[in-house]
Copies of this chain bind each other. A is one copy, B any other.
Amino acid sequence: MSDDLVTFGESMLRLSPPGNERLETTGELAVHAAGAESNTAIAAERLGAKASWLSKLPDTSPGRRIANGIRQHDITTDVVWAEEGRPGAYYLEHAGKPRGTNVVYDRADSEFSTAAAEEFNLDRVRNATAFYTTGITPALSEQMRETTVNMLSVARNAGTMVAFDVNYRRKLWEPEAARNTITRLFPAIDVLVIAAKDAEAVLDYDGEPTQLAHHLASEYEFRTVVVTRGAHGAVAIHDNVVHEQEAFETDTHDPIGSGDAFTGAFLARRLSGDDVGRALKYATATAALKRTIPGDVATVSKSEVDAIVADRTEDISR
């Protein structure tokens, strides 16, 4: 049975001190499996799509830990196992203002970053309804820039719809390098998701979100453009029609992964036939719910998201 959505990207060990503790002094680290594309696949599966994740990992206990953490969420994991090497990792400290959430990457020279497109199960890409990766993937290495181009070609040539989130990470590359690489990928993309702040940082475009969406849609001929604005909601343009959605109120426990939850839910609802406006509402609700959950992953059920969309939430449900 083919997938509704195939995602492709690196997942890592996420290592974070408990609570507000600092890395400098912590005696323990919480372990999560985390990566933008597997996060998105999981959110999509939970919102109703049949989703899978393609990746490469070393067949070591840290590498297997990552796959196990993702697999429990009932998506299909299609992993190329290397005999040795290291998985990516990142350290995370959480805090409120003025400290904020801080990421220290340790993903250089990861096994994933060395992989060529032909190592992966490309038939899965060809047979799926949609393919998804993010701007993090080509940021990882020269090899990955080439691999990303190739994966997108495979999808494009097979008629698989391509969705892409810009996901700019300034700790991985400079804005100019990102712009050069990512805009070259744009012609292969059908659905673009971009945070307003990434549009400013990478594309140097700081206009109003609806204008930005129009601009991108017309300039690069995307069928769908979604501009996300965190607490200010999101805007989508699809076939020249604009859809706006306010954010739902949320008590943020862990903001990491809320963008991926958004995109996974958006794609799942679109793939199951919802119109863009309704998909945007589910996406926004799923992102709000994600922010209450520790870890990168949106461990939600569709019925929980339904309740938010229908404004049926309670302070205490018993």
Contacts and interface: CB of A to CB of B under 8 A. Distances in A.
Interface stretch (A115-123, A271-279, A284-292): A284-292
Contact of A29 (B15, B108, B249): B15
Given A72-B68, A86-B106, A299-B24, A285 B31 contact: no
B304 A24 contact: no
A109 B285 CA distance: 36
Copy number in this complex? Answer: 6
A31 B27 contact: yes
Q: Is the interface of A mostly helix, strand, loop or mixed?
A: loop
Given A308-B98, A317-B102, A72 B15 contact: no
Contact of A25 (B68, B171, B318): B68
A93 interface: yes
A239 interface: no
A204 to B, nearest CB: 19
Interface in A46-70: 60-62, 64-65, 67-69
Interface string A88-110: 01010101111111111110110
A25 B299 contact: yes
Given A96-B250, A104-B60, A313-B97, A28 B26 contact: no
B98 A248 contact: yes
A25 B296 CA distance: 12
Nearest to A109: B109
Contact of A65 (B25, B86, B289): B25
A109 B248 CA distance: 40
Interface string A221-258: 00000000010000000000000000011110111100
Given A24-B299, A71-B74, A98 B249 contact: yes
A206 to B, nearest CB: 16
Interface string A174-207: 0000000000000000000000000000000000
Contacts of A218: none
Given A28-B29, A98-B285, A169-B318, 13 more contacts: A23-B61, A26-B65, A28-B28, A61-B104, A68-B72, A95-B293, A96-B250, A96-B253, A97-B251, A98-B288, A98-B289, A170-B318, A230-B315
Interface of A: 15, 19-31, 60-62, 64-65, 67-69, 71-74, 86, 89, 91, 93, 95-106, 108-109, 169-171, 230, 248-251, 253-256, 285, 288-289, 292-295, 297, 299, 304, 308, 313-318
